[in-house]
A and B are shown apart, each in its own frame.
Chain A
C-alpha cells in the first residue's frame, strides 16, 4: 500500500468506521455527553453573527456537495449553459464566504471572550480549525481551479462512489493538486474526529419536532384502556 492508498483508501474507511462506531457507542453509553454545548447564555452578540452565518452557509454548501454526489447528471445538465454555471458558482462562493466569516467570528470569540474561554475545550478549537481549513481550501479551489461544480462531477464523484461501492480507485485523485487533496483529506479528518467532539450534535438535528404533538406525557406503566372491576376482585382474592 503506497502513500496515496493510505490517505485515500485506508484513511477514509478508517474515518468512516470510527465515525459510525464511536457515535453509536457514545450515543448509547454516554448520552449525557451528546449536546450542541451552546454558549449562547454566556455570549450572545458575536454568536449571532458567527453561528447564524456559519451554520446556514455550511449547511447549504454541504447539501450542494451531497446533491452533486447523488445526482451528478443533474449538475451537468444545469451547468450546460454558462450563465447557469456562473450563477451556481457565484452562489456557492458567496455561501462559502458567509461560512468563512462565521467560522472566523466563532474562532475569534473562543479566544477573545473570557466567559466563552471558560467553557472552551481543546476539541472546540480543533473542530473550528478543521472547518476553517475546509472552508478556506474550498474557496481556494473555487477561485483557483474553476469551475469545480463542472469538473467535480467527473473527478470526485467517481472517486467517492468507488469508496461507497467498496471498489476504491485512489488513482482517480492521485494526480490532483495539493489544495484539492487537502480539501478531501480534511473532510475525512473531520469524519474521524466527529464522534469525539461536539459535532455529534449534527446527527441529533430534531426534525421529529415538526411532526410530534406539542405535549409529552410519560407514564411509568401504560394507562389502563378500560376499567375491569373483575380484575380488582381477582386481586382481592390473592392471599
Chain B
C-alpha cells in the first residue's frame, strides 16, 4: 500500500440551480486573458444536452480517454506513442474553436460615439480573436435550460440505450426534464492528458493530486486537448500553450477553497481530502466495465484505518492531512454513505471529482393518470421511492453519466436520498417517525443516525464543514526549491513571467 492524497471536489447536483456563478468566478480569476477567452475551466451544462465543447462525450469523434483491450491492457484511445509523434504536425482529433464557440465582445464605444440619428445606436458583436464584426453562433452555455430540445438535448450521447418511447417522451413539452452539470477538470488518477503529452509537460502533484501543465515545458503539440475525454484541457491560441483548471492551488495552499466552490450560490460544492492507494490505480482504470466503479472506490482508503494511517505517515503525509481526510465531506459522501459517483467512469481516467446525482421532480414522475392526484400527500414520496424507474429523469440516463451504465448503483443512491428526505419529512412535519419510515430507511440501506448525518451535511453544513482544507505547509515545501525569505518577497499578485507569445 502506497498512500497518496487527493483533493476532491463534490458536486451535489440536487442543489445546483445552474446560475453559472462558479463559471464567472473562475473566468474572472483565471481565464480573462487573450487566447483564454473561450476557455471555461469551470462550466455548467444543461442535461440532457450536448455540453461544452459541443458533444464532448462523443468519444468516437473526439478520441478521449482510455480503452481496454481483450487482454485487459489499457491504451489511449487517441494514440500510441509512435502515432503520437507522427501526428505532431496535425492532430486529427483536435477540437476546433467553433466546437467551443468563437469568443465575442461588443463594440460598446459605438454607444457613445455614434452620430445623432433616428435610431438607437447599438453595440455590434465583435470577435475576440479577429476583432471583426461577427454573428454570434454559439456560447459556452448555448443550450442553457433547453432540456427536451431537438437540436441539443436529443443529441446527448448519454441518452444512448434509453427506450425509444422514453426518449421521445423527453421531448414532449409536458415531460421536459433537465438538470445541471457543473464540470471542472477531474484531476484524474490515470489522466489521459498526462499520458498523451509528448513533451511530458503535464503532471500530477503527489501531495494533493492536482494535475497541472508546466507552461514552460508545453510546446503546443496539443495532444492533451484531444486525449482528455472531458475536454478540460484547452489550447491558448494566443500564447501557444495548453491550459487547464488548476483547482485554484494558490488558494488551497493558503487554506481557501477553490473559487468556483467558494462562490457557489447553491452551496452544492464540497471539498476534501481522499487518501488513495497508488498501487491500485492500474486496477481501478483497467477493471472490466461492470467493475470499474467498485475498483475505483476500492482504491480510496479509509483514513480511520490504522494501517492506512501508518502507510500514509510512511509516505510523508502529515497528521494534519490525515485529520482533514477524516473530516472530509468527500470521504463521507463517496465511501461512507456511497452517495457520490465519478463522471463517466467508463473513460477509465479514474476521475476524482464526484457527483451526487439529482432527484427528479417528485409529482410529475408518478403522474400517469389523474387518479394519482388523489393520493395522500405523504404517499407521494413512497410512490417515487418504490417506482424509481418511472422517475422523470430516466435512471438509465444517470447511469450513463455516473456509473458506466449500471442502473442499480443509481437506484441505490436515489433510494437512499429519498429515504433521508422522507425520514426528515416525517420527523419535522409529522413530528413522529413511524415504523414504516424506519423500515424504509433500512430498505434503502441506511439508519436514522446516518440519515441524520446525511441530512446535516447536505442541508445545514457550515463553510468549515463543506470545505475541509488540509494544512499545505507550503513554508516547508518551498524550502526544497527556493529560499523561503526570497520566496516570501516574490509571492503576490502578478506573473512570474508575463505570458507573452513567442515568435
Contact = CB atoms under 8 A, between A and B. Distances in A.
Interface of A: 30-42, 44, 47-48, 51-52, 55-56, 114-115, 117-119, 121, 123-124, 196-198, 200-201, 204-210, 212, 214-221, 223-224, 226-227
Contacts of A198: 502-503
Nearest to A219: B206
A34 B481 contact: no
Across the A-B interface, the 10 shortest Cβ-Cβ residue pairs: A33-B502, A227-B314, A206-B198, A31-B216, A37-B240, A35-B240, A214-B195, A55-B89, A123-B503, A209-B198
Interface of B: 4, 76, 81-82, 84-85, 88-92, 94-97, 129-132, 190-191, 194-195, 197-200, 202-207, 215-222, 225, 235, 237-241, 278, 310, 313-316, 477, 480-481, 497, 499-503
A38 B237 CA distance: 8
A208 B482 CA distance: 28
Contacts of B481: 220
B227 to A, nearest CB: 11
A42 B90 CA distance: 13
A117 B130 CA distance: 8
Interface centre among A124, A210, A215, A218 (most CB of B within 10 A): A215
Given A32-B215, A224-B316, A218 B206 contact: yes
A196 to B, nearest CB: 6
Contact of B202 (A40, A51, A119, A216): A216
A207 to B, nearest CB: 7
Nearest to A35: B240
Nearest to A44: B96
B90 A206 contact: no
Contacts of B222: 38, 40-41
Max count, chain A CB within 10 A of own CB: residue among B94, B97, B197, B237: B237
Given A212-B200, A214-B194, A38 B97 contact: no
A203 to B, nearest CB: 10
B130 A221 contact: no
B316 A197 contact: no
A206 B221 contact: yes
Nearest to B79: A209
A128 B316 CA distance: 52
Contact of B503 (A39, A197, A212, A214): A197
Nearest to A31: B216
B204 A216 contact: yes
Contact of A39 (B91, B190, B198, B237): B237
Contacts of B237: 39, 41-42, 119
B222 to A, nearest CB: 6
A93 B190 CA distance: 46
A220 to B, nearest CB: 4
Contacts of B206: 217-220, 223
Given A215-B195, A217-B203, A224-B315, A209 B81 contact: yes
19 contacts: A31-B216, A34-B219, A35-B219, A36-B220, A36-B221, A37-B220, A37-B501, A41-B94, A41-B222, A42-B97, A51-B89, A114-B130, A114-B132, A204-B199, A206-B199, A214-B195, A216-B194, A217-B204, A217-B206
Contacts of A39: 237
Given A41-B225, A42-B96, 4 more contacts: A33-B503, A198-B503, A218-B203, A226-B314
Given A41-B97, A215-B190, A220-B481, A32 B241 contact: yes
A200 B82 CA distance: 22
A68 to B, nearest CB: 24
Given A206-B199, A220-B477, A215 B94 contact: no
Most chain B CB within 10 A, of A35, A212, A214, is at A35
A115 B97 contact: yes
Contact of A210 (B85, B202, B220, B500): B85
B89 A215 contact: no
Given A40-B94, A115-B97, A216-B202, A31 B195 contact: no
B130 A118 contact: yes
Contacts of B502: 30, 32-35, 37, 198, 200
Nearest to B281: A215
Contacts of B220: 35-38, 201
B316 A48 contact: no
